[in-house]
Amino acid sequence: MSEIYTLSNKNGDNIELLLRQGTAGPSALEISPLYNNKGLLAFDPGFVSTASCESSITYIDGDQGILRYRGYPIEQLAAKSNFLEVAYLLIHGELPTRDQLSKFENIIIHHTMIKETMRNFFNGFHYNAHPMAVMIGVVGSMSAFYHDSIDIHDPKHREVSAHRLIAKMPTIAAACYKHSVSEPIMYPQNDLDYCGNFLHMMFSTPCEPFIPSKLAIEAMNLLFILHADHEQNASTSTVRMAGSSGANPFACIAAGIASLWGPAHGGANEAVLKMLKEIGDVSNIDKYIARAKDKNDSFRLMGFGHRVYRNFDPRATIIRNMCHKVLKETSDGNNPMFELALKLEEVALKDQYFIERKLYPNVDFYSGIIYRALNIPTNMFTVMFAIARTVGWVAHWMEMIADPSQRIGRPRQLYTGSVERNYVPMNKR
């Protein structure tokens, strides 16, 4: 049920705004009439109190540490599902039947190859280019290869584009890695599942196949599920904003990858590993905690804090448990970097600065330690995030395009520049 919310100023001038209720979470004031009726704008840098759209894909309650995809708790999906089933759920809204899932898996498997000419693109990049930089370029180029599916008004085109993006992302990601180590790019293998196929393309060579362990595939599935969506985060909002102008899906996802790369977002998993290496030893923790608290020092505890989670990030808890499992198999549980991360978390969680600001480990704090144990190089961590988040980006893009009330995204501003002034000739400046 909607109710009316009245805003008034000190002169008794009122405006009535609709308070819209979702199915869960905070209500939202519909402020569009503010400008039309009163010439006023809402000012909310960083969109702290702004719902940019309606969505029925993912729900987060940051105070309770709750994350649900299409209503299903993340803990249940992490324990019982796999990545492609979650992808189907996010895109279609319901868990698939056995038949629907096997059809979906079959479609994805048969879209994993990239065009032979696209493979040539990789050679244009210097071997030491960051894989995220290569990925932005190559994914952006997909609209040049698949222009048979970029009519966004045709539901069939939208579906084929979605399948192509989800299917080809691991192939492109692994090719980015192979290029960086000067090894031949591997073709996908259709008898492998999504995660197994990715590990094959990463680590097999034409001379020797790589057979991933069951645990490596399990861990990869888990990480991909946990990273698959997170409602209106920076990269998803970027995809929606780019898509709101009618841009094609490949261009929109390339924009999302660019946004994800930043260290405050998906780039944090790489930054965490670099930070742990820099800290080096538990004896240095106090020094780095002091630096994180010092407002004159730009150092932040990477993998800590979140705009929405103010209690704990449920994804971090699940990943921490998987970390124990993976490290037990790969290094008999003996991993100095994991020990350092656990100690760092313990010290920060007891520190008044972190307690007052409700800063907890986020999804990125432990994910890199698992990737590292699986021999994924540090500069590929954010690429891994991008593979998984492509599903969320695609789901949001499809939801947005199918929404009849969708309009181009066009925020306004509070102008603080010069008022009108006259042009000054060069000799008078």
Q: Which residues are catalytic?
A: 265, 306, 364
In total, the chain counts a number of residues equal to 429
Of the pair 11, 352, the CB lying nearest ligand CMC is at 352
Does 264 help bind ligand CMC (rule: CB under 6 A)? yes
**What does each C-alpha distance from 42 to 10, 45, 47, 50, 168 come to in angstroms?**
18, 10, 10, 9, 41
- The span of 18-26, 148-156, 242-250, 263-271 binding ligand CMC (CB under 6 A) equals 263-271
Write the CB contacts of 202 (distance below 8 Å, at least 6 apart in sequence): 174, 177, 178, 210, 376
x/- mask, ligand CMC, residues 7-46, rule CB under 6 A, reads: ---------------------------------------x
- Helix ranges (H only) for 57-186 are 74-80, 83-92, 98-109, 116-123, 131-145, 155-180
Write the CB contacts of 301 (distance below 8 Å, at least 6 apart in sequence): 275, 288, 289, 292, 344, 348, 354, 359
CB 389 → ligand CMC: shortest distance, Å? 8
Question: Binding ligand CMC by CB under 6 A: which of 292, 384, 387, 400?
Answer: 292
For Cα atoms 292, 296, 298, give the angle at the middle one, nearest 5 degrees. Answer: 55
Of the pair 110, 307, the CB lying nearest ligand CMC is at 307
Give me the amino acid identity at 163.
H
Site for ligand CMC in 193-252 (CB under 6 A): 233
With CB atoms as reference, the residue minimizing the distance to ligand CMC is 305
Does 301 help bind ligand CMC (rule: CB under 6 A)? yes
Of the pair 98, 295, the CB lying nearest ligand CMC is at 295
Does 305 help bind ligand CMC (rule: CB under 6 A)? yes
Question: Binding ligand CMC by CB under 6 A: which of 250, 288, 304, 338?
Answer: 304
Site for ligand CMC in 61-90 (CB under 6 A): none
CB–CB of 363/315 below 8 Å? yes
Of the pair 61, 193, the CB lying nearest ligand CMC is at 61
The DSSP annotation for 321-385 comes to: HHHHHHHHHHHTT--HHHHHHHHHHHHHHHSHHHHHTT--B-THHHHHHHHHHTT--GGGHHHHH
Does 302 help bind ligand CMC (rule: CB under 6 A)? yes
Does 362 help bind ligand CMC (rule: CB under 6 A)? yes
Which tokens sit at 10?
């000190």
Residue showing tokens 């549980």:
333
Of the pair 295, 429, the CB lying nearest ligand CMC is at 295
Q: Is 69 helix (H, G, I), strand (E, B) or coil?
A: strand
Which tokens sit at 73?
């708790």
Question: Binding ligand CMC by CB under 6 A: which of 229, 270, 364, 399?
Answer: 364
Residue showing tokens 């590993």:
273
Does 359 help bind ligand CMC (rule: CB under 6 A)? yes
CB 186 → ligand CMC: shortest distance, Å? 28
Does 290 help bind ligand CMC (rule: CB under 6 A)? no
> Any idea what DSSP says for residue 17?
E
Does 345 help bind ligand CMC (rule: CB under 6 A)? no
Does 178 help bind ligand CMC (rule: CB under 6 A)? no
Question: Binding ligand CMC by CB under 6 A: which of 363, 384, 394, 400?
Answer: 363
The DSSP annotation for 246-268 comes to: T--HHHHHHHHHHHHTSTTTTTH
CB atoms within 10 A of CB 86: 26
Of the pair 244, 367, the CB lying nearest ligand CMC is at 367
Of the pair 188, 267, the CB lying nearest ligand CMC is at 267
Nearest Cα neighbor of 90 from 255, 227, 256 is 227
Q: How many residues touch ligand CMC (CB under 6 A)?
A: 20
Residues making contact with ligand CMC (CB under 6 A) = 46, 233, 264-266, 268, 292, 300-307, 357, 359, 362-364
